[in-house]
Amino acid sequence: MNKYLLVLPMLLFSIVNNAQVAIGKATVNGDGLLDFLDNTTNGILLPIVTTLPTGSAATNGTLLMDFSDKKIKMRSNNQWVELTKTSGDVSTVTINTSNDIGQGVIIGASTSSASGVLVLESTQKALILPKIYKPHLNVINPYPGMICYDTYNNCLSVFNGSHWYFWK
């Protein structure tokens, strides 16, 4: 038991120190902070919020889906910017009505001034999105707020519950 108590802090320290996490594979490609299995059909699901964050919780660079107008938004220059111009479909979404617990997960640092479910902190590493070949054709029943990198069109892809949006 004591061995496990010693190994756990060392593992956590190495994750913070190394600051690279691979999901579904053994290693991270390049200088990514967070990387996913190649040729997947699973993307990242953006949080779907009923109230837009304000104050210190409204950190520039935040991505989310706004349940009220059913649009994907990004916080930029202290303003919420719509990334999808038309409303999506959130009829399949079940809103979590319980209180948030904890501060979320921070990768790349031991603390952060940002507030979020997943906070990536680095001055040298970035998020590598899940790579999907033609997500609009290959992802069966995508969930509203899904984000990925389309390897066919070489662009960012987001699903709003009704339509795929592509940004180059």
Segment among 2-6, 26-30, 42-46, 144-148 with least mean pLDDT = 2-6
- Structure pTM? 0.79
Residues 6+ apart with CB under 8 A from 117: 47, 104, 105
Structure tokens at 82: 């719509």
- Strand ranges, E, within 77-140: 79-82, 105-107, 118-120, 126-127, 131-132
pLDDT in tens, 134-150: 999 999 999 999 999 99
pLDDT in tens, 111-128: 888 878 888 888 888 888
- Strand ranges, E, within the chain: 21-23, 32-36, 44-45, 48-49, 63-66, 71-76, 79-82, 105-107, 118-120, 126-127, 131-132, 146-150, 155-159, 164-167
Mean pLDDT, rounded, for 99-118: 81
